[in-house]
Amino acid sequence: MIERPLHTARLIHQEWLSEPNQTKHLVFAIEDMPQFNFTAGQFLSLVAPKEGKTITRAYSLASAPRKNEFDLCLNRVQDGFFSNLLCDMKEGDAVRFHGPHGAFVLRNPLRDSLLIATGTGIAPIRGFVQWLFADDSNHGGRQIWLVYGTRHEGSIYYRDYFDLIAHDYPNFHYIATLSRPSEGWSEGRGYVQEHARKIIEARPESERGEMDAYVCGLNKMVSATRKMLKEELGWDRKQIVFERYD
Ligand SMILES: Cc1cc2nc3c(=O)[nH]c(=O)nc-3n(C[C@H](O)[C@H](O)[C@H](O)COP(=O)(O)OP(=O)(O)OC[C@H]3O[C@@H](n4cnc5c(N)ncnc54)[C@H](O)[C@@H]3O)c2cc1C
């Protein structure tokens, strides 16, 4: 068995992103580490004991590197062990982890990019956007579209932040699409892949092969999106970077 060094992270701030869905934004500070280096989009493996065993679950880093701190965005899964443990943490409580891990990271060189997420799949995408727009040389003027899908208006996580970036940067485009909108909802409706398709089809044909998609969420959405991009739009699989949560 590979022995991985374990670190301790202490919860320093938490807030509900959506109470009906029980989704939380958590901010941790790592003990005995002045700077935590990772690449935006990666995940941590959190560990905790349960009945004499060690339980490990992956959680995407929902922030770009920031001193010894990191953010998580997580959903309480009914009867789930780790998500309930995290959702019930109090400020000052600690959790152990190893990492960073994973290859869900932005390509270098960056091309025009479609960021597609549903639910807490927004976590690594928030990390991407924070990193991209922290310095103009990171996004390099590339066109970046974020298509975010969820059920209700009340579960559009981090909307104010993405709206602000879209306001400040003409090359960042943000579309929130709802599968169960209220009557007053005048923005996107339906599945994320339909919006992604429209964005791609609006581009000149010569530019469609010159872009990448980054897709994160539950397997059903990730598979449907990859299928659409490959089979209907003829994309190469190398143009699609994805992370599945289940
Ligand atoms: C690379 C990676 C990154 C991830 N990042 C995040 C993240 O940023 N935020 C986040 O909230 N989750 C994330 N997940 C999912 C997370 O790892 C756990 O699977 C989830 O929190 C459930 O764990 P649990 O111990 O609470 O539930 P468990 O005790 O493992 O499962 C309880 C029940 O819930 C079902 N279930 C398991 N996972 C899910 C799920 N995601 N949605 C609905 N039902 C589920 C199981 O089938 C089971 O029936 C990520 C997963 C991967 C692989």
Tell the residue nearest (CA) to atom 7 of ligand 1. Answer: 59
Task: For residue 51, give Cα distances in angstroms to 6, 40, 47, 115.
Answer: 20, 34, 13, 39
Atom of ligand 1 nearest to the CA of 123: 8
Domain 7-101 has CATH 2.40.30.10: yes
* Domain topology for 112-244: Rossmann fold (3.40.50)
pLDDT in tens, 93-105: 999 999 999 999 9
pLDDT in tens, 172-209: 999 999 999 999 998 999 999 999 999 999 999 888 88
Cβ–ligand 1 distance for 239 under 6 Å, the answer no
Cβ–ligand 1 distance for 123 under 6 Å, the answer yes
Domain ranges of the chain: 7-101, 112-244
Cβ–ligand 1 distance for 70 under 6 Å, the answer no
The answer to whether domain 7-101 and domain 112-244 are alike in fold is: no
Average pLDDT of the chain to the nearest whole number:
96
**The pLDDT of residue 119 is above 70:** yes
For residues 100 and 41, is the Cβ–Cβ distance under 8 A?
no
Read off φ and ψ for residue 61, nearest 5 degrees: -75, 125
192 alpha carbon – ligand 1 mean position (Å): 21
Check residue 2 and give its pLDDT.
Answer: 67
